Structure 1
């Protein structure tokens, strides 16, 4: 099945594996909150056990250098696409209020980005993630 839009997550390539996974989890929650129509129907197994709904389309995960991540951030903002970010400072916080305060304390161009997630038209997202590579 082909989709007209794409969900992409880009994580910095110098993070330990546990941090990459943590960043991905947080970032996609932002996309789900901003674009709820991307979430499909709830799941149910043959025994009638119910499970939560998930995105109805694939989420592509990429890794990139800090420079490529910064460029992707600028391009996403320039295109006005839904964007979630994760900065290095968020690893030291323990709750949503402190996370927001940590981001609020830093000007946009000085954010120490370790990840971002974007949703938009396929061709626009492809241009945004140019230079990133599929996560192994």
Structure 2
């Protein structure tokens, strides 16, 4: 089944495995909450056991430098794509209120992104991420 939309996760290439896994989970949860119909139907296995539906989109996980992440975020915002950024301000905050307070005092050019989740028309997402390599 060919989809007209695309979803990618782009992680900073220098992340340790545990940080990369955490960033992917945070980004997936945040993006999924923003998308309508983001889950496929529940399914049953051969013995009739129910399995909760999962996201029907393939989710390539790509690698980028910090500067590439900042550029992708800015371009995704300009193109009005759905983009979620996970940054070092969030990673270093103890609570969500602390994160919001610290974020309000951080200029956009000072944000160091750990990763991004980007969703939108396939051609637009490909323009921003098509030249990146797979993470790992």
Same fold (TM over 0.5): yes
TM-score with structure 2 setting the length: 0.88
TM-score with structure 1 setting the length: 0.88
Tell me what 1:129 maps to. 129
Residue 114 of structure 2 aligns to a residue in which SS?
strand
1:130 is displaced (CA, Å) by 4.2
Tell me what 2:83 maps to. 83
Q: Distance in 2 between matches of 1:105 and 1:12?
A: 23
Tell me what 1:64 maps to. 64
Deviations 1:9-51 (A, max 9, x none): 1110111111111101111112211112232112332333333
Counterparts of residues 88-99 of structure 1 (less than 5 Å): 88-99=88-99
Deviations 1:74-128 (A, max 9, x none): 1100001111110012222344333333433322222111111010111100111
Counterparts of residues 42-53 of structure 1 (less than 5 Å): 42-53=42-53
Residue 133 of structure 1 aligns to a residue in which SS?
coil
In structure 1, the gaps of 5 or more residues are: none
Tell me what 2:8 maps to. 8
Q: Distance in 2 between matches of 1:52 and 1:76?
A: 31
In structure 2, the gaps of 5 or more residues are: none
Tell me what 1:27 maps to. 27
Tell me what 1:118 maps to. 118
Check the 8 A contact 2:89/2:111 in 1, yes or no.
Answer: no
